[in-house]
Homo-oligomer: A and B are copies of this chain.
Amino acid sequence: MSGSIRLLIADDEHLIRGALVALLNLEPDIEVVASADNGVTAVEQAIATVPDVCLLDLEMPHADGLEAAARILAAVPTRVVIVTRHARPGVLRRALASKVSGFVPKSTPAEDLAHVIRDVAAGRRYIDPEIAATALTAERCPLTDRELDALRFSRSTTSVQQIAERLHLAQGTVRNYLSSAMTKLDASSRHEAAEKAWQQGWI
């Protein structure tokens, strides 16, 4: 009947996914109609079942929560709530840009989650106030495009040499970008700078 909220749950950790299904199925007005362990099958299931609300973990293999959210919202008339362990300000920004309706950290009390889902199903939005506050106080990214490029690669590759090759630049240039980024982010090594930029959700 019309009062029952049809829910999709996606989380790559089987134990947590199962526990969430159990928790939310206890609510009389919520019915879990699909679950997935990665972004790609989440999209498929969403298209197949057309749930009222999709609860997506941000950290998932193949396609992360944001990508899955974008694809689902483009294909199906539904609403999306993102759940995440590390709430990075920049990610919230991007999530809102792709019309996500809810954003909660995994530190949320379990009892509150059902409230959030009901709110979102009713067409309202819910953003965790803590994350919203940090996202608003956090100044915008001070890094230039090329600095971001260099930092991105610097997370995966070992040497400046390799980064330079990928970007088709001289080694000195790359070092320069990284150095500049380090100054702006007040870091003392490029790994630290990359880490900080990642925590802010800038890369």
What residues of chain A have their CB less than 8 Å away from a CB belonging to chain B? 13-23, 26, 83, 85, 104, 106-111, 113, 158-159, 188-189, 191-192
Residues of chain B contacted by A19 (CB below 8 angstroms): 16, 19-20, 22-23, 110
- Selected from B85, B108, B158, B188, the residue in CB contact (under 8 A) with A189 is B158
A162 to chain B, nearest CB (A): 11
Report yes or no: B158 in contact with A192, Cβ–Cβ below 8 A.
yes
**Interface-centre pick from A15, A18, A192 (highest chain B CB count, 10 A):** A15
- Selected from B109, B158, B189, the residue in CB contact (under 8 A) with A18 is B109
Given contacts A188-B158, A189-B158, contact A106 B14 (CB under 8 A): yes
A131 to chain B, nearest CB (A): 14
Residues of chain B contacted by A20 (CB below 8 angstroms): 15, 19
A178 to chain B, nearest CB (A): 15
List 16 other contacts, CB 8 Å, given A19-B23, A22-B23. A14-B108, A14-B109, A14-B110, A15-B113, A16-B19, A17-B110, A18-B111, A18-B113, A19-B20, A19-B22, A22-B22, A22-B110, A26-B26, A158-B192, A159-B188, A191-B191
